Amino acid sequence: MSGLRGSLGPARPGWVWGAAAALLALGALLGAWRWAGRRRRRRLQRVGTVLRLFVYPVKSCKGVSVRRAQVTPMGLRSGDMRDRFWLVITEDGHMVTARQEPRLVLVSVGCDNGHLTFEAPDMEKLCLPVNVPRKNPVHNCRVFGQDIQGRDCGDEVAQWITTFLKSQPYRLVHFEPSMVPRKSKNTINLFRSTDEVAYPDCSPVLLLSEASMDDLNTRLEKKAKIQNFRPNILVADCSAFEEDTWEDILIGDVEMKGTVCCGRCILTTVNPDTGVIDRKEPLETLKSYRLCDPSERHIYKTSPLFGKYFAVDKTGTIQVGDPVYKMIWE
């Protein structure tokens, strides 16, 4: 027995020390987790207020000002109207925008009882069912060099658009949920592989501040309008170009991630009231003071920056008057 006790005696302190060491290691690990949790705590800093919201059902046509909108992974939605889910195309499937047909900006699009409504100067109002008949053909379309589908909306609206524009024959197509969206990353590499759009240029959401508009207009002989720049969200109560610095923001219950600034093109020179393209202002004035840093020229080239693109991290609802918060991770 004494031999047995002798053999057990030395083992007991080793076991105790081993357990103590394990507990200490566990405590250190838990402490590190707690510290990491503290470091990643979210703080909200109010940076502005939602002044206006816009949905553009048909790409390049007039936007619809709404008081409230759902923010989906692929952009704003108000009832049956979804942002840039309809597109004018040539008969061989290439997109048509106000860059080629400036008078598209004079076409007003609304929604009533499950129908899109189309109105334009000297044209009869046209009503088009939101849900296009399944028997209508699906077109293979090209939008900024990428392939995407769209279901043909029928001869009546095609003829209406062609007549108003006095153009070659055009068609209108609708993006359906079963279709494959475009990857934002394929247009600008800084987007994530999960960021997707239907017919917008590249991003689900475009945000601009009222202060940036005011700053630009102090430099212009003829003032530009918000319609020249076609944002989804116009923000008040911040300084000019402050939106450029926002990365993670919260509006209502919606979380969005800033990706890149919006490089502006000749479409901004289309007069939203007359449908006449100027090709100069406000683009030339923006180029005089809003070009990117030389280190970012591979992204923006010679396009001036005005507004910021956001991707959607958490969907929900936003409305006019909502505070805009910058999310700061600590």
**3-state helix, strand and coil shares in percent for the chain, rounded to the nearest 5:** 25, 35, 35
Tell me how far the alpha carbon of residue 298 is from its chain's centroid: 21
pLDDT at 285 over 90: yes
* b/e per residue 183-195 (b: at least 16 CB within 10 A): bbbebbeebeeeb
**To the nearest 10°, the Cα dihedral for 270, 211, 73, 247?**
130
How far is it, in rounded angstroms, from Cα 44 to Cα 172? 43
Task: Give the pLDDT score at 319.
Answer: 98
Start-to-end C-alpha separation, the chain: 61
User: Using CA atoms, how far apart are residues 315 and 289, in angstroms rounded to an integer?
Assistant: 35
Q: In what order do the strands lie in the sheet with 115-119?
A: 108-112, 115-119, 126-129
Q: Is the pLDDT of residue 11 over 80?
A: no
pLDDT at res. 40: 74
Q: What is the pLDDT of residues 97-130, one digit of tens each?
A: 999 999 999 999 999 999 999 999 999 999 999 9
Cα separation, 52 vs 271, whole angstroms: 20
* pLDDT at residue 54 tops 70: yes
The predicted model scores a pTM of 0.88
What is the assigned CATH class of domain 45-329? Answer: mainly beta
Over 50: is that where the pLDDT of 171 sits? yes
